[in-house]
Amino acid sequence: MGALRDMTLGELIAPEGHACACGRTHRAKLKYLMIGSGAIRFLPEALKAVGCTRPFLFCDGNTYKAAGLEAEAALNGAGIKYTPFQFPQGHVEPDEHAVARLREVFDSSCDCVLSVGSGVLTDCGKVLAYERGLPQVAAATAPSMDGYASNSSSMIENRVKVTRYNACPQAVLADTDILKDSPERMLLAGLGDMLAKSVAQCEWRISHIVTGEYYCEEVAALMRRSLLRITAAAPRLLQRDGAAVEAVTEGLVLSGLAMTFAQVSRPASGLEHYFSHAWDMCALRDGKRPELHGIQVGVGTALTLKILDRLRTLRPDEETVKRAISSFDPNAWEREMRRVFGGAAEELIRKEYSVWHKNDPGARMARFTRIRDHWDEILRIMDEELPDTAETIGLMRSLRLPVSPREIGITDRQTRDAFIRSRDIRDKYLTSSMLWDMGLLDGFSLK
């Protein structure tokens, strides 16, 4: 096969998949993809491609105006019967109530789920389609996130943000005439989500060295390509330039494909996403609506780039690690876990002791040894993967994107907690995990 990095979107979604040098066959779940001006008019063709004759179309008040009307016109024009549902409220949360409502109103004579929306409704559609065992067609309304072509959904359960792996939409329609009119913050959120990808590739390669985690250079190269495409188009986003919106949307779809190919979110998310997850949890706990995912991720990326810049000036030191290992107090760790995560802490503590064992002194020393032995290579990876921090922040500022946690209402304490505890949320090796392994995390300044 040719290299994934050189393929067109059409070639990438070929149903037979791509046997890769990494040993896996990368297969997209997407059967139909249309990005561009007037794409929504291809809805009948998209439905046919996934074998659907009667879609269950759902939207909310905003997305109905943005794309629902045109979707209905396309269906009516082709004589396709469908069952519509519109959430009565303007803003829907991706939680158990929204999913329960969809279950209630779902018409079981329908043979596909047609979501008209961006992150929230696309994700709710994934849950419903997966439960029903039906294909999903996603009609996009904003270039705000990279989940249109991925199988994971970001849901809220019991006021806690969780990632659920469901089915990937089988068809995606992204009409740039619709997307370019989305609210400014949503137009920019996808860019924020994409800026994270440089950190993600960097941490992925480092984890491959330190923990032996699976890594695919082709998938990483695909992600770098989508990032380049998006940053080149970014300066024209605020003018709502159709070609720029198209480039960003293609980048977001490529990113979703890369996640599907790797079968994990690793190529798309790193420490910056853990800042975002932690800030979501804070907002939900305080009964507030979290800031948009991509906006938070952008802020998390700026912060992570600064952390990595400082990390590059340090060196692994065995005495520091030995001191950190001998002074580690599991009881104090548990207390901090409960303070930061509240009700969610017990499950995470249980996982650490029964599955992850990342705090085990022997495992920590073994990881440290690999960091020390490969430090030059780790520095080279940072040089290769990371953009210039000042340039990235300059680009964000020029687009009126928030850069610091305070600008989105996050306190220094919340940011510090998110940073220190990020390594405890999942068994994923992050920059914070490496700092902890080096004995440097607790004293690391975020100033």
Residues that bind Zn ion (CB under 5 A): 20, 22, 193, 216, 218
Instruction: Quote the least distance from Cβ 19 to Zn ion, whole Å.
Output: 9
Instruction: Quote the least distance from Cβ 194 to Zn ion, whole Å.
Output: 9
**Two tokens at 112?**
């596909």
Residues 6+ apart with CB under 8 A from 46: 32, 34, 137, 171, 173
Q: Please say which residue, 148 or 436, places its beta carbon nearer to Zn ion.
A: 148
Instruction: Quote the least distance from Cβ 425 to Zn ion, whole Å.
Output: 15
Q: Please say which residue, 252 or 410, places its beta carbon nearer to Zn ion.
A: 252
Instruction: Quote the least distance from Cβ 266 to Zn ion, whole Å.
Output: 12
Q: Please say which residue, 43 or 301, places its beta carbon nearer to Zn ion.
A: 301
Neighbour-count burial for 226-261, b at 16+ CB within 10 Å, e otherwise:
bbebbbebbeebeeeeeebbbbbbbbbbbbbbbbbb
Is 173 within 8 Å of 39 (Cβ atoms)?
yes
Q: Please say which residue, 115 or 265, places its beta carbon nearer to Zn ion.
A: 265
- CA-to-CA distance for 190 and 195, rounded, in angstroms? 9
Q: How far is CA 345 from CA 260, 410, 428, in A?
A: 29, 21, 17
> Which of 56, 189, 177 lies closest to 118 in space, CA to CA?
189
Phi-psi region at 108: left, alpha or beta (left = phi > 0; alpha = psi -120 to 50) = alpha
Name the helix (H) or strand (E) containing 394.
helix 389-398
Q: Please say which residue, 110 or 194, places its beta carbon nearer to Zn ion.
A: 194
Q: Please say which residue, 123 or 218, places its beta carbon nearer to Zn ion.
A: 218
Q: Please say which residue, 221 or 363, places its beta carbon nearer to Zn ion.
A: 221
Q: How far is CA 196 from CA 7, 323, 328, in A?
A: 23, 33, 31
Instruction: Quote the least distance from Cβ 262 to Zn ion, whole Å.
Output: 8
Instruction: Quote the least distance from Cβ 207 to Zn ion, whole Å.
Output: 16
Q: Please say which residue, 273 or 421, places its beta carbon nearer to Zn ion.
A: 273
Instruction: Quote the least distance from Cβ 213 to Zn ion, whole Å.
Output: 14
Q: How far is CA 428 from CA 215, 266, 367, in A?
A: 13, 9, 14
Instruction: Quote the least distance from Cβ 397 to Zn ion, whole Å.
Output: 21
Instruction: Quote the least distance from Cβ 204 to Zn ion, whole Å.
Output: 12
**Two tokens at 125?**
């559609």
> Which of 105, 71, 69, 109 lies closest to 85 in space, CA to CA?
105
Helix (H, G, I), strand (E, B) or coil at 35: strand
Helix (H, G, I), strand (E, B) or coil at 111: coil
Q: Please say which residue, 132 or 428, places its beta carbon nearer to Zn ion.
A: 428
**Two tokens at 93?**
């949360």
> Which of 442, 430, 415 lies closest to 303 in space, CA to CA?
415
